[in-house]
């Protein structure tokens, strides 16, 4: 089995595995070239100010802290270039989110990942004031009892690497997300 992508340790949901080395090579290229569409569900501690938005930020990574940061004072231009001052190692992070609904205490957001940066969803949602439930590293007020965070790889859509047929894989949100429906 080959692994063409990964999830952060505290994240639940879909993972694609390759049965052969040829499929692994093709899947890795599809992930790298943006041909795989990943949709996440995030249970946030605050409701986003906008019901939907495209977030484009320049991010850096601190490997010692195992944490990502939004570069302040730098914005992405329409052609994806960096404007303003930012470190050379900053990378463009893009995602689109859509607010779904709220429970008494939390807010369900669907996230379409457009780039795959380290801790991208966690960092960008926290940056707009919506930390993910249980994610102490990015601003949640308390941890979850199981040590995970309420970020779930809900759906992956792609063309099958050999048969070239559309393939969609989904995983229901964990039972520990009480009161949350897909």
Active site includes 8? yes
HSE-CB at 127 with a 13 A cutoff on CA atoms is 19
Q: Is the pLDDT of residue 74 over 90?
A: no
For 121-146, what is each residue's pLDDT tens digit? 999 999 999 999 999 999 999 999 98
Q: DSSP state, 177?
A: S
Q: Is the pLDDT of residue 84 over 70?
A: no
Report the C-alpha gap between 80 and 105 in whole angstroms: 36
Out of 8, 33, 57, 89, the active site residue is: 8
Q: Is 140 helix (H, G, I), strand (E, B) or coil?
A: coil
Give the pLDDT confidence of 5-52 residue by residue, as tens digits.
Answer: 888 889 999 999 999 999 999 999 999 999 999 999 999 999 999 999
**Domain assignments of the chain as residue spans, ordered by start:** 12-170
Backbone angles phi, psi at 29, to 5 degrees: -65, -40
| pTM, to two decimals | 0.89
**CA dihedral of residues 26, 29, 34, 36 (deg, nearest 10):** 30
What's domain 12-170's superfamily in CATH?
Answer: Pseudouridine synthase (3.30.2350.10)
């Amino acid at each position: 089995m080959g692994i063409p992508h990964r999830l952060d340790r505290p994240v639940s949901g879909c993972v694609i595995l390759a049965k052969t080395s040829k499929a692994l090579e093709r899947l890795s290229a599809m992930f790298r070239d943006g041909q795989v569409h990943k949709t996440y569900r995030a249970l946030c501690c605050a409701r986003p100010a906008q019901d939907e938005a495209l977030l484009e930020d320049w991010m850096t990574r601190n490997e010692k802290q195992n944490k990502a940061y939004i570069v302040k004072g730098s914005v992405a231009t329409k052609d994806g270039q960096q404007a303003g001052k930012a470190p050379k190692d900053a990378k463009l992070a893009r995602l689109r989110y859509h607010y779904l609904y709220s429970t008494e205490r939390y807010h369900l957001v669907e996230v379409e990942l457009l780039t795959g940066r380290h801790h991208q969803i966690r960092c960008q949602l926290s940056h707009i004031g919506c930390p993910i439930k249980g994610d102490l590293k990015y601003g949640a007020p308390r941890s979850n009892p199981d040590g995970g965070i309420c970020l779930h790889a809900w759906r992956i859509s792609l063309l099958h690497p050999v048969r070239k047929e559309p393939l969609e894989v989904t995983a229901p949100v964990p039972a520990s997300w009480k009161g949350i429906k897909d």
